[in-house]
């Protein structure tokens, strides 16, 4: 390891109080989503921080009062050295009034080697560690030949995909690290897509006509959309069981591919036969599947179910998938991320972890989802790696371990430096001995 880099990593210990204060500062910005539309001050803080250390800043509103921030530090030899994106989300989980926090969620406290506050684990700890690593690198004067891009995005907690907006804006790199909650595991992930299934009658009927629909000789071809949705739900359960038997992925327990009937809406009032029913579903799928593939499987199965029912055959279900926001249009997509353990970026991140922790890196899959799928979907090799564990994410008295935060900061500092010093022509296995 470069001696200057080694001395710099030691500074993380020596200046850990600065790191803790940086995290506390980020937590003090109240950025829960929902309600969202509250990240402007926090994002401006990040923009000013990056600008102070030489980054060019792109700040734009994704939604009013919810801007993305992208800082770009051009390398000294960008054409010949590898580029990196560090990505994290500034929004945090909502806080309900009845949650029994020991302290105010946005007044961070330190207790027994832990920082406590909303977002400590998910994921302002990851943002703070990466920013502090950047600060140390820039203050040291150590050169970065490759480009470094830092993305602080909004909306991850409610499916608003600030990261997708960064991809659409053209930000790209040879590798990306999403510094979200992973307990210092290097992870891929499955995916999630929500959808609405609608069963709708072509006619409306008074509730007094029900006897003519259900008894012999009534001669009225009609049905309750709510009751017909029961057949759709049964079909979804059948498909879910089929997936549990026929699909698998290393690192996931059987049956991880689920179809959750989350919300149901239907009917007008008690004087009508229900002429419409809508079902909101959440579908989880494996890292080697796409949301387009999963949508097709669900639709084909349910349409086949409908063909077996005389009324549904004439009034087939319709489908609306995804959405850009759980707040704005009640829908979301999180693409899957299949991590490549043989990719040079993954290998170098694992080696950086091993150098710092003196323990082997764990490369596995996250049981939840992050914005990493959008980077992968854009063709950027990506890994999830950050401090904090999922038991604390979204939890009352959310907290992150200070020793783990320090370890993570050292790892990300070393990885930024070594990846930036990797020639862009290097491939897997050619550069590992120099780390």
Q: Enumerate the active-site residues.
A: 91, 156
Short-list 163, 194, 193, 166, CA closest to 384: 163
Short-list 45, 43, 28, CA closest to 119: 28
Give the number of other CB atoms < 10 A from CB of residue 77.
16
Short-list 371, 413, 394, 412, CA closest to 121: 394
* DSSP symbols for 365-423: EESS--THHHHHHTT--EEE--SS-TTTTT-TT-EEEHHHHHHHHHHHHHHHHHHHTSB
* DSSP symbols for 239-287: HHHHHHHH---TTS-TT-S-EEEEEEEE-S-TTB---EEEEEEEEEE-T
The Cα–Cα gap between 231 and 238 comes to 10
The Cα–Cα gap between 259 and 234 comes to 11
CB 147 within 8 A of CB 75: yes
Number of H helices, E strands in the chain: 12, 16
The Cα–Cα gap between 263 and 220 comes to 30
- CB burial readout 137-166, b (16+ within 10 A) else e: bbeeebebbbbbbbbbbbbbbbbbbbbbbb
162 φ/ψ angles, rounded to the nearest 5 degrees: -60, -30
The Cα–Cα gap between 199 and 99 comes to 38
**Chain centre distance of CA 225:** 35
- CB burial readout 326-357, b (16+ within 10 A) else e: bbeeebbbbbbbbbbeebbbbbbbbbbbebbe
Task: Identify the DSSP state of 4.
Answer: H
The Cα–Cα gap between 2 and 247 comes to 46
Return the structure tokens found at 14.
Answer: 């020596």
């Amino acid at each position: 390891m470069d001696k200057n880099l080694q001395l710099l990593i030691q500074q993380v210990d020596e200046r850990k109080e600065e790191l803790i204060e940086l995290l506390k500062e980020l937590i003090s910005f109240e950025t829960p989503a929902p309600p969202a539309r509250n990240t402007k001050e926090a994002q401006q803080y990040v923009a000013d921080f990056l600008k102070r250390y030489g980054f060019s800043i792109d700040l734009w509103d994704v939604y009013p009062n919810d801007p993305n921030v992208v800082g770009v530090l051009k390398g000294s030899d960008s054409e010949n050295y590898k580029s990196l994106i560090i990505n994290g989300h500034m929004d945090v989980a909502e806080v309900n009034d009845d949650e029994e926090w020991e302290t105010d969620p946005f007044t961070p406290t330190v207790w027994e080697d832990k920082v406590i506050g909303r977002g400590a684990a998910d994921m302002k700890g990851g943002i703070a560690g990466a920013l502090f690593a950047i600060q140390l690198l820039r203050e040291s004067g150590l050169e970065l030949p490759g480009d470094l891009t830092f993305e602080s995005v909004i909306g991850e907690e409610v499916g608003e995909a600030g990261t997708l907006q960064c991809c659409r804006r053209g930000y790209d790199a040879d590798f990306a690290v999403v510094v979200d909650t992973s307990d210092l595991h290097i992870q891929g992930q499955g995916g999630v897509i929500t959808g609405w299934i609608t069963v709708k009658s072509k006619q409306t009927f008074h509730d007094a006509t029900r006897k003519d629909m259900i008894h012999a000789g009534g001669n009225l071809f009609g049905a309750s959309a709510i009751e017909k949705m029961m057949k759709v739900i049964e079909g979804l359960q059948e498909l879910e069981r089929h997936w549990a038997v026929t699909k698998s992925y290393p690192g996931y327990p059987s049956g991880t591919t689920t179809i959750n009937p989350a919300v149901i809406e239907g009917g007008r009032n008690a004087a009508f036969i229900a002429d419409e029913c809508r079902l909101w579903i959440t579908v989880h799928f494996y890292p080697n599947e796409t949301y387009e593939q999963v949508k097709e499987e669900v639709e084909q199965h349910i349409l086949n179910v409908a063909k077996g029912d005389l009324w549904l055959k004439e009034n087939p279900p319709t489908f609306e998938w995804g959405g850009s926001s759980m707040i704005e249009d009640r829908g979301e997509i999180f693409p899957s991320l299949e991590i490549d353990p043989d990719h040079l970026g993954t290998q170098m991140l694992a080696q950086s972890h091993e150098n710092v922790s003196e323990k082997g890196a764990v490369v596995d899959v996250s049981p939840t989802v992050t914005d990493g799928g959008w980077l992968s979907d854009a063709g950027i090799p990506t890994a999830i790696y950050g401090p904090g564990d999922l038991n604390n994410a979204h939890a009352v008295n959310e907290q992150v371990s200070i020793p783990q935060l320090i370890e993570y900061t050292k790892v990300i500092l070393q990885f930024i430096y070594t990846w930036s010093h990797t020639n862009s022509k290097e491939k897997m296995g050619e550069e590992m001995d120099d780390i």
